[in-house]
Amino acid sequence: MSDDPRALYIDLVKKSLTCSLYEGYDGTFFKPRGSWRRGLLRQLVPDDVRLIRRAPDEERAEGKDWPALALTMVGQKRLDNLQECVEAVLRDGVPGDLIETGVWRGGSVILMRAILKAYGVTDRAVFVADSFAGLPKPDADSYPADAGDRHWTYGELAVSLEQVRANFDRYGLLDDQVRFLKGWFKDTLPSAPIERLAVARLDGDMYESTMDAIKALYPKLQSGGFLIMDDYGAVPACKQATEDYRARLRIREPIVPIDWTGVYWRKA
């Protein structure tokens, strides 16, 4: 561990965001397999009660659980990658702002803002793009890859704008450099007040959400900037959208794996 106060601060923020400072972490929501088991659970457990299981250490490190209290599902490896990307564009002077599309409780964008704070950067914004109401119902006619997608039914994915703002405020990082874009990506991103991007982290799960985000943002990503795709390994529709867009634009930069699901590449 570095003795640099900046590195110590950023490391502390990451451990706090994942709740990995504490023995046993904070648990993860228990989700029984099978529709009949879930139906039985709904009958037995009141709506205001959530069952928590202790998550193995590797689940939190890999971002494979849905934590009860932590502000991110991303896990240590993807947070480390995000830090490396942001610090690289600062070190190399790549111009542009930072954005995440699909923020859940805000952990990754809080980390982005914390890194800018640690380095005294005041001329870059962090854009926080989300519906703050969960994911859209699949439009299978326009996006066949999304047929049968169930993300829109997961109430845990709907975190309000007020809650995300409050999470920033708890870290002392809610200020004018944090810009919120509320709504579906197809409505907010094409007209977003963003001229240039240095880091774009996309976490839209679905084909439609991934394609809407990458189409609107990749042209603004500067040479030397990073495109990070969170769900590439976990959601086949996200991978297909990524590959379709790369093929359409003949993007040849190699895709670099981060962990079991996250990938990134650096724009040439």
Interhelix angle 161-170/107-118, nearest 10 degrees: 40
- Residue 54 is predicted with a pLDDT of 66
Largest distance between two CA atoms of the chain = 56
CB of 28 within 8 A of CB of 52?
yes
CB of 109 within 8 A of CB of 103?
yes
Could you state, in chain order, the average pLDDT of each consecutive group of 10 residues for the chain (268 residues)? Answer: 89 92 63 68 68 67 80 94 98 98 98 98 98 96 95 92 98 98 98 98 97 98 98 97 98 97 97
- Residue 217 is predicted with a pLDDT of 98
* Secondary structure (DSSP) of 20-53: TTSTTTT-EE---SSHHHHHHHHHHS-TT---EE
- Residue 93 is predicted with a pLDDT of 98
- Residue 168 is predicted with a pLDDT of 98
- Residue 49 is predicted with a pLDDT of 66
Three-state SS annotation for the chain: CCCCHHHHHHHHHHHHHHCCCCCCCCCEECCCCCHHHHHHHHHHCCCCCCCEECCCHHHHHHCCCCECCCCCCCCHHHHHHHHHHHHHHHHHCCCCEEEEECCCCCHHHHHHHHHHHHCCCCCCCEEEEECCCCCCCCCCCCCHHHCCCCHHHCHHHCCCHHHHHHHHHHCCCCCCCEEEEECCHHHHCCCCCCCCEEEEEECCCCHHHHHHHHHHHHHHEEEEEEEEECCCCCCHHHHHHHHHHHHHHCCCCCCEECCCCCEEEECC
Residue 158: phi, psi to the nearest 5? -95, 100
**Residue the block writes with tokens 């005294």:** 120
Sign of the Cα torsion 157, 135, 63, 214 reads negative
- Residue 47 is predicted with a pLDDT of 67
Tokens of 136: 């859209």
- Residue 138 is predicted with a pLDDT of 96
